[in-house]
Amino acid sequence: MSSRFTLKDHFRESRLINGRLLVAALISILVFSVVVVRLVVLQVFEYEHFDSLSNRNRVDIEPLPPQRGLIYDRNGVLIAENIPTFSLEMVPEKVTDVDATLSELAKLVALTEEDITDFRDRLQRHRRFQQVVIRQRLTEEEVARFSANRYRFPGVDIQGRLIRHYPQGNLFAHAVGYVGRINERELQIIDQQDYKGTLQIGKTGVEKEYEDILHGEVGYRQVETNVQGRIVRELMSVSSHSGDDLFLNLDINLQRVASESLTDYNGSIVAMDPRTGGVLALVSKPDFDPNLFVSGISSKDYAELRDSPDRPLYDRALRGSYPPGSTLKPFVALAGLELGVVTEHSKTYCPGWYTLPGHDHRYRCWKHQGHGMMDMNDAVSQSCDVYFYDLAHTLGIDRLHHFLDLFGFGHETGIDIPSESSGLSPSREWKRASRNQAWFPGETLISGIGQGFNQTTPIQLAHATSTLAMRGVMQEPQVVRASRKAGQDEMELRGNERINSLPMQNSQHWEAVVDSMVEVIHGARGTARHVGEDMPFQIAGKTGTAQVFGIAQDEKYDAETLERKLHDHALFIAFAPADKPEFVVAVVVENGGSGSKTAAPIARKMMIEHFGLELDEPQPDQ
Partner 1 sequence: MNHSLISDRPQRQSWQPGRLFQLLHIDAMLLFGLLLLLGVGLMMLYSASGQDSSLIIRQLVRLGVALGAMLVVAQIHPDRMRDSAYWLYAFGLILLVAVLLFGHEGKGAQRWLNLGFFRFQPSEIIKLAVPILVAAFLAERPLPPSVLRLLTSLVLIGLPAFLIAKQPDLGTAILIASSGLIVLFLAGISWKLIIGFISACAAAAPVLWYFMHDYQRRRVLTFLNPENDPLGAGYHIIQSKIAIGSGGTFGQGWLQGSQSHLEFLPERSTDFIFAVIAEEFGLAGAALLLCLYLLIAGRGLFIASQAQSSFSRLLAGSISITFLVYVFVNVGMVTGLLPVVGVPLPLVSYGGTSMVTLLAGFGILMSIHTHRRMMSP
Nearer to partner 1, 34 or 552 (CB): 34
Nearer to partner 1, 28 or 112 (CB): 28
Q: Cβ distance 510 to 503 under 8 Å?
A: no
- Counting every residue written for the chain, the total comes to 622
DSSP state of 295: T
CB 586 within 8 A of CB 458: yes
364 beta partners: 353
Query: What contacts 330, CB < 8 A, 6 or more positions away?
Result: 380, 468, 513, 516, 517, 542
Q: What is the largest CA-CA distance in the chain?
A: 122
Strands 231-238 and 245-248: unpaired
Closest distance of CB 97 from partner 1, Å? 13
Q: Toward partner 1, which CB reaches closer, 99 or 141? A: 99
Q: How far is the CB of 33 from partner 1 (least distance, A)?
A: 9
Q: Looking at beta carbons only, is 129 or 349 nearer to partner 1?
A: 129
Least separation in angstroms between residue 193's CB and partner 1 is 6
Distance CA 231, CA 58 (A): 9
* Residues 581/522, Cβ–Cβ less than 8 Å: no
Known catalytic residues? 326
CB of 50 to partner 1, least distance (A): 3
DSSP symbols for 168-200: TGGGGTTTT--EEE--HHHHHHS-GGGGTT--E
Residue 17 or 110 with smaller CB distance to partner 1: 17
For residue 312, say if its preceding peptide bond is cis, omega within 30 degrees of 0.
Answer: no
Contacts of 386 (CB under 8 A, 6+ apart): 348, 349, 350, 351, 352, 353, 354, 363, 365, 370, 371, 374
Q: Which of 602, 569, 570, 574 shows the shortest CA–CA distance to 586? A: 574
Residue nearer to partner 1 on the CB measure, 92 or 277: 92
- Nearest-approach distance from CB 4 to partner 1, in angstroms: 11
Smallest gap from Cβ 7 to partner 1, in A, equals 9
58 vs 347, beta carbon nearer partner 1: 58
CB of 40 to partner 1, least distance (A): 6
CB of 31 to partner 1, least distance (A): 6
| Number of Cβ atoms within 10 Å of the Cβ of 309 | 6
Least distance to partner 1 from the beta carbon of 157, Å?
Answer: 15
Give the whole-angstrom CA distance, residue 119 versus residue 147: 21
The C-alpha atoms of residue 484 and residue 186 are separated, in whole angstroms, by 26
What stretches of 93-243 adopt beta strand conformation (E)?
132-135, 156-165, 179-181, 200-202, 219-225, 231-238
**Cα radius of gyration (the chain):** 34
Q: Are 376 and 348 in contact (CB under 8 A)?
A: no
Beta carbon nearer to partner 1, 63 or 177: 63
284/9 Cα distance (integer angstroms): 89
- The CA distance from 71 to 235, in Å, is 34
- Cβ proximity to partner 1: between 124 and 369 the closer is 124
**Chain positions contacting partner 1, by CB under 8 A:** 3, 9-10, 13-14, 16-21, 24-25, 28-29, 31-32, 34-36, 38-40, 42-44, 46-47, 49-51, 53-56, 58-61, 63, 93-94, 128-129, 193, 196, 218, 220, 222, 227
Alpha helices in 352-420 (DSSP H): 376-381, 385-406
CB 160 within 8 A of CB 136: no
From 350, 371, 354, select the one nearest 363 (Cα to Cα): 354
Direct distance between the N- and C-terminal alpha carbons of the chain, in angstroms, rounded to an integer: 116
Residue 503 CB, nearest distance to partner 1 (Å)? Answer: 41
Assess contact for 304 and 527: CB atoms under 8 A: no
C-beta of 18 vs 183, nearer to partner 1: 18
